Amino acid sequence: MARTNDVVDVLVIGAGASGGAFAWSLADAGINVMCLEQGGWMDPSAYPSTQDAWEIHKQTDFNPNPNFRSLPQDYPVNESGTPIAPLMFNAVGGSTIHWSAHFPRLHPSDFRVRTLDGVADDWPVSYQQLEPYFSLNDQMMGVAGITGDTAYPPKSERQTPPIPLGKLGDTIVRGFENLGWHWWPSDSAILTRPYDGRAACNNCGPCEIGCPLGAKASTDVTYWPKAIARGAMLKTNARVREITLGKDGLADGAVYYDSDGRVQRQKARIVVMACNGIGTPRLLLNSESSLFPDGLANTSGLVGRNLMFHPYSMVMGVFDEQLEGYKGPLGCAIISSEFYETDLSRGFVRGYAFQVIRNPGPATTAQGFVLSSPIPWGSDHHRVFGERFGRTITVAVIGEDLPESHNRVDLDPTLTDSDGIPAPKVDYRMSENSLKMMDHGIARATEVLQAAGAKEVLVNPLLRPAGWHLLGTARMGADAGNSVVDSYGRSHDVKNLFIIDGSIFVTAGAVNPTSTIQALALHIADYFKQNARHLLD
């Protein structure tokens, strides 16, 4: 085994949304930080969105599901025990390469669900504590939007104006207004004007297969260039096998495979996990030892437990007029929080959000887009295609997923990646509460589409795959018996091990989590900087 002679102060595993933000914050303070990333740098000029066959790439080498994509930097996931397939991307920038950049924050109530609704647990941090980090992260990522959304406390000014609603947006707004329901232009981590040396969006549409302009805020174009300029080190194509311990029971580095498949070891004083809600528990469970026979930092037995996705129901309205819905970012149009908070008269606790989605390309339209079946072949194919292409509005119902210990990530007994590291196995099922919630959301989404003038409404009750949001598998909390890390992401068991990704979420909320993941990473980085002398002794 090759050994790196230099011991770094802080070793971050994963260069995605949280890893990029954390590394920048520490490097900016002059702290010696290194990151190991199992993928490499992406070439924006080679993104599928620059090519005629972009829709084919989206289903093959740029598929969000690593089991379909099967690139050398990916690892397989046993998803046979879940109706929601985990989605992720391995590269500098992580899954922000592949995201739609819909950028809401969790709501204040999401941090107090036990106090407000008697379910799950309160977070050990509040929205108010994270607000300065939300604002800092907005500045670093660049957000298109407008202030004044009544679903949130006041926010700082957005960096650029909101993405234009277009004819599709104006049409669905008519439905919300007719019903008197809340709606707001989405906060989007996509620039509508040049900002911070990056270009503005050209509204080409397929943001989720990479933005060649840099208008979409993937962390390879936001945080990482600044982090490296301030001295952060980044090793790519480094697949970590395990976190190692010293004789004192503290983490002392990581063992990884380099791009040639050789085993290397990097020593560090502090280890920080930023591998997402599947990758982090996988690595901790693989790092077993005599001190931690059930996996590193797992005396609570909660590493891998309480996995939360966001169930998605997709409700598509078909309209008579051409809405030009293929113009503009696919996932960023309008958000509604009308049914976000608990109302027990609905028959379930907590709630859901609506995310209005634009239209895909022609091939994806023909394949049914978010529906469970494609447009039928035969004599009616062209007629139905003509009725749908550019003429649909999809309302995604994003349900809050409450933590349940039986929903979990474990190690598969036989499946491994190409280096022989055990792969994760996911077991997950939706609760009765979630099923009732989604039924309610489908009915209300149908109502708003009809109020907007839809002539037909089509429903997919559960989108598969839809596991973009991987949360809760190393939850934070004050009680070491009921959590894996404290409110600063610090392991209860291993005092120099931190976790900063979505696995530390206590509850999931009902909105996309990236903004909150990054705010938490910056919050933890601030704690680290304020206590660096003590932590690095």
pLDDT tens, the chain, 537 aa long: 455 558 999 999 999 999 999 999 999 999 999 999 999 999 999 999 899 999 999 999 999 999 999 999 999 999 999 999 999 999 999 999 999 999 999 999 999 999 999 999 999 999 999 999 999 999 999 999 999 999 999 999 999 999 999 999 999 999 999 999 999 999 999 999 999 999 999 999 899 999 999 999 999 999 999 999 999 999 999 999 999 999 999 999 999 999 999 999 999 999 999 999 999 999 999 999 999 999 999 999 999 999 999 999 999 999 999 999 999 999 989 999 999 999 999 999 999 999 999 999 999 999 999 998 899 999 899 999 999 999 999 999 999 999 999 999 999 999 999 999 999 999 999 999 999 999 999 999 999 999 999 999 999 999 988 899 999 999 999 999 999 999 999 999 999 999 999 999 999 999 999 999 999 999 999 999 999 888 877
Other C-beta atoms closer than 10 Å to the C-beta of 177 total 12
Using CB atoms within 10 Å of the CB of residue 229, give its burial: 0 to 12 exposed, 13 to 18 middle, 19+ buried: exposed
Q: Using CA atoms, how far apart are residues 431 and 182, in angstroms rounded to an integer? A: 27
The pLDDT value given to residue 3: 53
Give every CB contact of residue 106 below 8 A, 6+ residues apart in sequence.
127, 509, 511, 513, 515, 516
Q: For residues 63 and 424, what is the distance between their CA atoms, to the nearest angstrom?
A: 19
Find out whether the peptide bond into 311 is cis, omega within 30 degrees of 0: no
Domains defined along the chain, listed by start:
2-160+186-309+467-535 (3.50.50.60)
334-336 and 352-357 as β-strands: parallel, antiparallel, unpaired?
antiparallel
**Contact (CB, 8 A) for 251 and 496:** yes
Closest to 497 in 3D by CA, of 308, 305, 303? 303
CA distance linking residue 212 with residue 32, whole number of Å: 31
Full DSSP string of 406-448: TSEEEEEEEEE-TTSPEEEEEE----HHHHHHHHHHHHHHHHH
Which stretches of 177-220 are assigned E, i.e. beta strand? 184-185
Q: Are 319 and 466 in contact (CB under 8 A)?
A: no
Please give the full DSSP string across 384-397, using - where no structure is assigned: HHHHHTTTEEEEEE
Q: What's the CA gap between 435 and 477, in Å, rounded?
A: 28
Q: Do 205 and 330 contact (CB within 8 A), yes or no?
A: yes
Q: Which of 175, 397, 422 is nearest to 278 (CA)?
A: 422
Which DSSP symbol is given to 221? T
Half-sphere exposure of 299 (CA within 13 A, CB side): 10
Pairing of the two strands 263-273 and 8-13:
parallel
SS3 529: helix
Q: Answer whether 189's CB lies under 8 Å from 21's CB.
A: no
Q: Which one, of 412, 370, 310, 313, lies nearest residue 79 by Cα? A: 412
End-to-end CA separation in angstroms for the chain: 27
Distance CA 320, CA 322 (A): 7
Distance between CA atoms of residues 475 and 469, nearest Å: 15
Distance CA 179, CA 211 (A): 36
| Tokens read off for 179 | 């019903």
d(C-alpha 74, C-alpha 88), whole Å: 9
Q: Is 334 helix (H, G, I), strand (E, B) or coil?
A: strand
Cα dihedral 429, 75, 37, 535 sign: positive
**What gap in Å lies between CA 290 and CA 252, rounded to an integer?**
16
Q: What one-character-per-residue DSSP string does 265-319 give?
A: EEEEEEEEE-SHHHHHHHHHHH---SS-TT-TT-TTS-TT-S-B---EEEEEEE-
Position 535 scores a pLDDT of 84
In sequence order, what E strands does 115-250 have?
A: 184-185, 233-235, 239-245
